[in-house]
């Protein structure tokens, strides 16, 4: 794809080579979109040779399917596959030396991620962006792990090292899902954020931004939703799943974790929901949402059902959603 828009995006992120650590379903998907869509050379590393082999076989399968369906040419598939270089377990993270950006996609364990980022920061150039695909772990904590021995968070070398760390949260399956959620650590520089955003766009993704809160916007919303569903199944504190989801959502906007549009976009593009929770709340009617939440709260005395103050105030203002012409969104009369 050589459209002017794509070329501009590639130029804007300045990533000539990307490294991916972990070749499980997320890492492999990231390597695939980087090689196929952003058209950059990819260094793919996994400490398990068996996992690397499995990942590459899956990539071949995806490319074959795209060729069979006429989505890409056989030449494109060959070039894409040619962009992927395997970095063996033996070579280790030293094999990432030439990468301008490394995206870590290993299992969701803080100690493992901290060890990888500590080692990486010592082995790659000081300008290499270090991104993590974590679903919930503090990016700020991971960034702190990159401060070199003998340096402090405020020393020039220490703060520079942490400033290139960013959260780049892809969704599963990566080749299909349109969203990348970008999370800024307290230390992340504007330049790191801009380059990470431009790279995600070059990979064919839309982006949202979230502050570094546990689970970010996506999992702060999705996991209570899933947990409540499980509780319904267990018949423990059975509740109205959608209402709980709307309560958490309005708390996120109330706390300024993300914008209205980014909150809704996260659920629409990250989880393929037909409409985001704030739009859904407008559709239900904010007074109805509040009344249901009050019933839940009064009936259970469980603080997780406490309606957000913002929702109460919006109902006070008679902003009731679609039916009144104004809610989280504005509607024509
Ligand atoms: N890898 C790559 N491509 C895949 C795939 C996979 N694992 N699974 C499906 N696809 C592709 C298919 O090949 C097909 O591609 P095509 O258009 O080129 O033919 C396309 O997706 C549609 O596949 P199907 O028609 O077989 O299947 P569906 O109609 O069920 O669609 C889906 C697949 C879009 C993935 C759909 O099942 C869906 O929307 N699932 C929900 C996914 C979701 O919400 N993910 C987010 C999870 S949360 C998360 O990742 C965050 C983390 O932090 C927890």
Question: Average pLDDT in the 239-252 region?
Answer: 68
Question: 226 in ligand 1 pocket by Cβ < 6 Å?
Answer: no
Query: Does the pLDDT at position 241 exceed 70?
Result: no
The pLDDT tens digits of the residues spanning 20-55 come to 999 999 999 999 999 999 999 999 999 999 999 999
State in Å: Cα 163 to ligand 1 middle: 34
Catalytic residues: 135, 169, 181, 219
From atom 17 of ligand 1, which residue's Cα is the shortest distance away?
Answer: 176
Does ligand 1 have an atom closer than 6 angstroms to the CB of 319? no
**Right CATH for 4-210 from 3.40.1010.10, 1.10.10.10, 2.70.50.60, 3.40.50.720:** 3.40.50.720
Binned at pLDDT 50, 70 and 90, residue 254 comes out as confident
Ligand 1 in contact with 177 (CB < 6 A)?
A: yes
pLDDT at 144: 97
Least confident interval from 4-8, 144-148, 150-154, 169-173: 4-8
pTM confidence score:
0.89
Q: Is the peptide bond before 332 cis (omega within 30 degrees of 0)?
A: no
69 lines ligand 1 (CB under 6 A): yes
Q: What is the mean pLDDT of residues 286-294?
A: 89
- The pLDDT mean for the chain works out to 90
Q: What CATH architecture is 217-324?
A: Orthogonal Bundle (1.10)
Q: Closest ligand 1 atom to the C-alpha of 135?
A: 53
Residue 249 confidence (pLDDT) = 75
Write the pLDDT tens digit of every residue in 202-234.
Answer: 999 999 999 999 999 999 998 888 877 777 666
pLDDT of residue 55: 95
Q: Where do the domains of the chain lie?
A: 4-210, 217-324
Confidence of residue 292 (pLDDT cuts 50, 70, 90): confident
């Amino acid at each position: 794809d050589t459209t002017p828009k794509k070329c501009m995006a590639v130029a804007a992120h300045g990533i000539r080579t990307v490294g991916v650590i972990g070749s499980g379903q997320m890492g492999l998907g990231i390597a695939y979109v980087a090689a196929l869509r952003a058209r950059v050379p990819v260094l793919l590393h996994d400490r398990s040779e068996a996992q690397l082999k499995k990942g590459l076989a899956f990539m071949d399968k995806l490319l074959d399917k795209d060729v069979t369906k006429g989505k890409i040419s056989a030449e494109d598939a060959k070039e894409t596959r040619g962009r992927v270089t395997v970095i063996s377990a033996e070579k280790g993270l030293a094999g990432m030396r030439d990468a301008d950006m490394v995206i870590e996609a290993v299992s969701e364990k803080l100690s493992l991620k901290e060890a990888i980022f500590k080692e990486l920061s010592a082995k790659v150039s000081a300008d290499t962006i270090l991104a993590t695909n974590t679903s919930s772990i503090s990016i700020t904590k991971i960034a702190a792990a990159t401060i070199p021995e003998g340096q402090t968070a405020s020393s020039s070398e220490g703060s520079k090292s942490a400033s290139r760390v960013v959260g780049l949260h892809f969704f599963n399956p990566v080749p299909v899902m349109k969203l990348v959620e970008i999370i800024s650590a307290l230390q992340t520089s504007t330049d790191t954020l801009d380059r990470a955003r431009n790279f995600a766009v070059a990979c064919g993704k839309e982006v949202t931004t979230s502050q570094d809160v546990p689970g970010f916007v996506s999992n702060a919303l999705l996991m209570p939703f899933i947990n409540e569903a499980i509780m319904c199944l267990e018949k423990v504190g059975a509740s109205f799943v959608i209402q709980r989801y709307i309560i958490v959502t309005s708390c996120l906007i109330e706390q300024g974790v993300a914008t209205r549009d980014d909150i809704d976009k996260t659920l629409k593009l990250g989880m393929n929901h037909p409409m985001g929770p704030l739009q859904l709340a407008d559709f239900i009617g904010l007074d109805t949402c509040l009344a249901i939440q009050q019933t839940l709260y009064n009936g259970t005395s469980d603080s997780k059902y406490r309606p957000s103050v913002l929702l109460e105030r919006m109902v006070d203002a008679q902003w009731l959603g679609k039916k009144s012409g104004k809610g989280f969104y504005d509607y024509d009369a």
